[in-house]
Structure 1
């Protein structure tokens, strides 16, 4: 049945039968036959078809969601069985929120590849909410996230503590506590762990910025702050180069830095050797940079 589910998921992802057939190295009639057999097995029509596209109906949407989870579990099961007699190798799907994924994870991946060249990592960078959902749905083996999330059935292990500072352009005039509300604040989008920390910071200091600008990238926020567009609250991990080059400066504010935790999340207690060695590297090599 897993092959029928794979064909179904591919048809949905590709948007029509011909592209799915090409992806699966099958004929289009064979793909159609697989879909018809699956529909008979579940007792419902799953796709609305036209000459140009296919779309999920309500039953199809339910099957698609669970099919992706089943296929993820099947792949994970196969890798665990293979690992029982083999060294750490194979595909390892890693997800990370932006701060950790862009500024810390690359250094850990370099050590992973140096020590375990047979592991084939793939990395997804997204906000905390999206990574947690992907781990919960078996689309990712492991996630490194910040902030809090409400996904059920996931295992959480605290990994590191991060410090967040108010930063401004190097030539920005000094700011006192009373000026904070008047400043333009450049923040991440809702769903981001960094945004969660930024909102908590505003609440802690009991003020609401007069103007907020939402950007979907930490790098874009840093460039904008450097250009004098506004100020922001950013992770210590993300601003090391800018502080060294003196293109950004930290504004000393009472109650800052803000501390937040990063966690490792997984869905299953059964781990491949590839996942085991990656988790061990995370624990051994995650560090918190210090200001000089």
Structure 2
């Protein structure tokens, strides 16, 4: 695979803000990462990174280099795709970003099968909420994003992936809640654990409640947490409820650790979506999109 490896090292350190993580991603030693960066700094006659303890940050000169470096690496990727010919010979790097629910519960089996079929394609998956992933695609930190929210960024192209249901759940040990049906209006009375601001799940719930005339600030919020896993652990020790993706709670529902709290005439659904920049997408991004769609169509 043709590339400028020193620029690749620089871009990886700039994206991960860590020499150690860059070495792990690139499968080279940390001294090798340091050597490549030092050679670039000698070539340009300036420092590209500044260190403070274990923290790494771009200098002003490093910020200037990052945009053209990514543009050059993108051209190398395009060149490799053009010359690859048969898709079975595809190789290269695919930087993806996905919302937390997708990263934890939807993508792992897909990526395992993808790696088995395309072992020469390195996939690096970034985790974040919907707003973070959209920003990463716009900033060309990742080539392909998958989100759970309803973003409408003017610089991005959205394509539907799969449908998801968001359900209200609580611990099976919460007898006050599991044996009755609630109305939408009574949701104001329930102690709730919500996701953080910027969460795609929370944005969908907020919109669904708003359509029923209920504002988020009218809810009885016990806690806000940053992931479905942390919320599930919280529920196991409390009498609170939470709106979570069915993908996230399917296992707990099946083994009886959590139960659904029925709410009359209140169904919350959404569509997970692919996010790419406008214009022609990379061959690897297109391959991953088709692979994901085929996986769930067969299921």
What TM-score do the two structures reach when normalised by structure 2? Answer: 0.76
Q: Which residue of 1 aligns with 2:238?
A: 228
Compare 119-128 and 197-206 and name the one that shifted more.
197-206
Work out which of the two has the higher radius of gyration on C-alpha atoms and give 1 or 2.
Answer: 1
Which structure 2 residue ranges, 5 or more long, are not aligned? 20-29
Does the C-alpha gap of structure 1 residues 179 and 146 become closer, same or farther in structure 2, counting only changes over 3 Å?
Answer: same
Q: Displacement, 1:287?
A: 6.3
Would you say the 8 A contact 2:193–2:223 is kept in 1?
yes
Does the C-alpha gap of structure 1 residues 283 and 221 become closer, same or farther in structure 2, counting only changes over 3 Å?
Answer: same
Q: Which residue of 1 aligns with 2:134?
A: 132
Would you say the 8 A contact 2:167–2:246 is kept in 1?
yes
Q: Displacement, 1:34?
A: 2.6
Q: Which residue of 2 aligns with 1:188?
A: 195
After superposition, give the CA deviation of every residue in 1:221-267 in whole Å (9 maximum; x if it has no partner).
11211222511111111111111111111111123220111111222
Q: Displacement, 1:9?
A: 5.7
Equivalent residue of 2:101, what SS?
Answer: helix
Does the C-alpha gap of structure 1 residues 27 and 263 become closer, same or farther in structure 2, counting only changes over 3 Å?
Answer: closer
Tell me, in whole angstroms, the C-alpha distance in 2 between the residues paired with 1:27 and 1:21: 10
Tell me, in whole angstroms, the C-alpha distance in 2 between the residues paired with 1:64 and 1:95: 23
Does the C-alpha gap of structure 1 residues 72 and 135 become closer, same or farther in structure 2, counting only changes over 3 Å?
Answer: farther
Does the C-alpha gap of structure 1 residues 229 and 83 become closer, same or farther in structure 2, counting only changes over 3 Å?
Answer: farther
Any runs of at least 4 consecutive aligned residues in structure 1 with deviations exceeding 4 A, and if so which?
2-15, 46-57, 59-62
Q: Displacement, 1:279?
A: 1.6
Q: Which residue of 2 aligns with 1:284?
A: 294
Q: Displacement, 1:199?
A: 2.0
